[in-house]
Chain A
Amino acid sequence: GAGVSQSPSNKVTEKGKDVELRCDPISGHTALYWYRQSLGQGLEFLIYFQGNSAPDKSGLPSDRFSAERTGGSVSTLTIQRTQQEDSAVYLCASSSPLGSGGRVYEQYFGPGTRLTVT
């Protein structure tokens, strides 16, 4: 079946502009995660959504970052007033709910969005 998809695959933006990154999880997956991968920091957790629960936003680096998930499916990560240090690959993952079959909480990743802030 279809995996996690992300768009755009590449985004170049000027410093100070806002950007939106999109993630389409695997159908039926109730948990969705955002991570950031940069050269200096490795892979860092940003935020995750689980069903109708309040999202865990503890990894968001500043209030310029926000994310929402509409209808329990598609998610958008928004970065306002982008800075050069926001340049990174933004990865989205999803996982199946407990007891649904398959391996519990195994996270499946999308191909990522490479963000470059000039």
Chain B
Amino acid sequence: KQEVTQIPAALSVPEGENLVLNCSFTDSAIYNLQWFRQDPGKGLTSLLLIQSSQREQTSGRLNASLDKSSGRSTLYIAASQPGDSATYLCAVGPGGTSYGKLTFGQGTILTVHP
């Protein structure tokens, strides 16, 4: 059974810092990995999706990397801003026919203070 772990559980940083969020998964037979953010009381917003054949994806100040063989992904946020404060969730999609069945980590609660 796939298990996804995110470290740290919570992170508080001053504005402007570069930071790294970590995600690890136990079964490397994945189809893709997706990073989301969730604001309090809201649904999930997709940030980046990395397919298993890719090593990284970038969007603006965000960069996500994937090392499938070691079961790890990192989300790098450059020049953090207070608006980045949210819960960040990592989710992996399995290979085979169940690709849509995402398994989520517990999330990292990020607070960026001015």
Contacts and interface: CB of A to CB of B under 8 A. Distances in A.
Interface of A: 4, 31, 33, 35, 42-45, 48, 50, 56, 58-59, 91, 93, 95, 103-112
Contacts, number: 57
B49 A42 contact: no
A111 B42 contact: yes
Nearest to A45: B101
Interface of B: 31-32, 34, 36, 42-46, 49, 51, 89, 91, 93, 98-107
A56 B99 CA distance: 11
Contacts of B42: 111-112
B102 A45 contact: yes
Given A42-B106, A42-B107, A43-B89, A107 B101 contact: no
B43 A95 contact: no
Contacts of A103: 49
Contacts of B103: 45
